Amino acid sequence: MTLDSARINWGKLLTRILLYFVVVLVCVIILYPYFVMLATALKTRAEIFDPNGALLPAVPIWSNFADIWSLAPMAKYLLNSIIIASGSTAIAMVCGIPAAYALARMKFKGQTAFLGFIIVSQMFAPVVLLIGIYKVIKFLNLTNTLLGLIFINAAFNQAFTIWLLRGTFMSISAEMEQAATIDGCNRVQAMMKILLPVAAPGIVTTLIFIFINAWNEFTVALCLISTDTLKPMTVGINIFNGYNIIEWQYLFASSIVAIIPVVILFMSIEKNLTSGLTAGGVKG
């Protein structure tokens, strides 16, 4: 009996070790490109183009991170990206939450066709519709403006927002809202006070994905923004990508700076992913 127990414990131990090994291996594979970016950002130009150079710099050149702020308007690029991503996320969420709620709780003619249209709209990349987008933005006199990019990013993330939040709302029992209506709440109050707090994890997840998609958008911003001080980070850092030579140390340093706001957002919101699971319950 003791021998069998020992065998079972050894089996669990080996399984756990294997699991940890796989997790560490996956983390290394995912983080290795970022490690290479950081190592390259700390090198001199001579080290980068040395065919026999090592992966790590001989002496880390931390001044590369300071130089990018004087060589390019990085603060302006960063601020533009924050404005674009935050604005498009806010619009997408404000428009997407009511639409997702209606699709999850209400029945109407053409609902299936409308859901199919939402799925089909996700098949079109912005680059495919670039000419039409440019004409619409030019008609609205929003070319070379941050507001135009905010509207475009919000529009392209709207279908994703509606589809993801609809699934979140459908997973929540409608009986909680019915109980709220018995207590005197109307449909809007029941949604705001009961449904949204419970759906907070799904809403936060959707918000993060929308923000990252808007933050990483490149093609539309490249075509619509010509003024250097209005460019987002994804377009602005191409200033280090010259015709004759690429300043890899500055390009990777600025890329790391561009990653930091998204990491901070995720770390600050990740703590609250489960905060809405018990909120909004019926009184009792």
User: Higher-confidence residue: 98 or 7?
Assistant: 98
What is the b/e burial string over 128-157, where b = at least 16 CB atoms within 10 angstroms of the residue's CB? Answer: eeeeebeeebeeeebeebbebbbbbbbbbb
Cα gap 64→48, rounded to integer Å? 13
pLDDT for 279: 40
- Quick check: 77 pLDDT over 60? yes
pLDDT tens, position by position, 129-152: 888 888 999 998 998 999 999 999
- Quick check: 270 pLDDT over 70? no
pLDDT tens, position by position, 191-200: 888 788 888 8
Arithmetic mean of pLDDT over the chain: 84
pLDDT for 194: 79
The pair of structure tokens assigned to 31 is 């983080």
- Quick check: 5 pLDDT over 70? no
Backbone phi, then psi, for 241, in 5-degree steps?
-100, 85
Cα gap 120→95, rounded to integer Å? 19
pLDDT tens, position by position, 115-127: 888 778 777 777 7
Strand partners, 246: 241
∠ CA 8-10-13, nearest 5°, is 110
**Helix (H/G/I), strand (E/B), else coil: 250:** helix
Return the CATH number of the domain spanning residue range 73-270.
Answer: 1.10.3720.10
Cα gap 1→99, rounded to integer Å? 61
pLDDT for 202: 83
DSSP single-letter state for residue 227: S
Cα gap 175→93, rounded to integer Å? 24
